[in-house]
Amino acid sequence: MSRGPIEDVAVDGIWAKDGYTAVRLLSAGSPIRRIRLANIFGAYRVNAVSFTNHKVHPGSESVFEDISICGLFCGKSGMGMKADPAKPGNSNLSLIWIDAPAVVSGLTLTDLHRTETNWPVATIFIESGATVKSLQLTQATILNRTPGPLDLLVNRGNIEHLSFSQVLLEASAGPARGAIVRNSGKIQDWKFQQELAVNTVAEMVEEPIIK
């Protein structure tokens, strides 16, 4: 299989009623740089956006630099999926999934909106062994209309710098559930401003480190 860097790409306007994955960013030995994804709509069985290497070239680096996602209006598709609406399910089915051994030097998310009625899988999931050097999220509204706990960000990897601004996570009537950040990895420093958690268990939940 041929390989080489993927650079300077803008994708604007994706919609699917029952999609598999909207955008799969795959780096296996060659970097992906300067990518802008905008206006992604619909419902997806697996991911809206994923950062993977898929073991195409085992042992190779998985490098992503300067990635921007602007305007994501997505939820989970319930079609053809054996999903329990009371449980988050597998991490690799998160809306935005960053798999190991990804190293993401800069990830900016703006204008992210999700009203979830099917499945409370995490909105963003960073796996153990993955690193995000800078993650910035602004203007996000996550509304959980399922009976299960829906987290905005689950981190099992390493985040060097985390910044959230103008963020709302709200669960519908019932017991408090979900968190803005659920962390069992490492976050070196973070800054939250203008964030609101409604009927959730906490702004940030710290859990034992998963190795």
Is the pLDDT at 208 greater than 70? The verdict is no
8 within some domain: no
Domain for residue 5, yes or no?
no
- Cα–Cα distance list, 184 to 66, 72, 200, 205 (Å): 25, 26, 18, 9
Coil/strand/helix, residue 93: helix
Establish if 7 belongs to a structural domain.
Answer: no
The DSSP bridge partners found for residue 12 are 38
Q: Confirm whether 181 is domain-assigned.
A: yes
What is the reported pLDDT for 142?
97
For residue 10, tell me if it sits in a domain: no
The total number of structural domains that make up the chain: 1
Please report whether residue 163 resides in a domain.
yes
* Higher local confidence (pLDDT), 191 or 79: 191
pLDDT at 153 (0 to 100):
97
- 159: helix, strand or coil: strand
- Write down the pTM of the prediction: 0.94
- Residue-wise pLDDT for 38-65, tens only, equals 999 999 999 999 999 877 777 778 999 9
* Residue 178 to residue 156: CA distance in whole angstroms: 16
For residue 205, what pLDDT is reported? 82
User: For the segment 9-28, what is each residue's pLDDT rounded down to a tens digit?
Assistant: 999 999 999 999 999 999 98
Whether 3 maps to a domain, the answer reads no
Enclosing domain of residue 155: 15-204
For residue 6, being part of any structural domain is answered with: no
Q: How confident is the model at residue 2 (pLDDT cuts 50, 70, 90)?
A: low
Please write the tens of the pLDDT for every residue from 54-107. Answer: 777 777 789 999 999 999 999 999 877 777 888 988 999 999 999 999 999 999
Answer whether residue 209 shows pLDDT above 70: no
For residue range 107-162, what is the model confidence (pLDDT) as tens digits?
Answer: 999 999 999 999 999 999 999 999 999 999 999 999 999 999 999 999 999 999 99
- Reported as a pLDDT band with limits 50, 70 and 90, residue 193 is very high
Closest to 181 in 3D by CA, of 199, 207, 160:
207
Dihedral sign, CA of 103, 50, 114, 81? Answer: negative
Q: What pLDDT score was predicted for residue 211?
A: 47
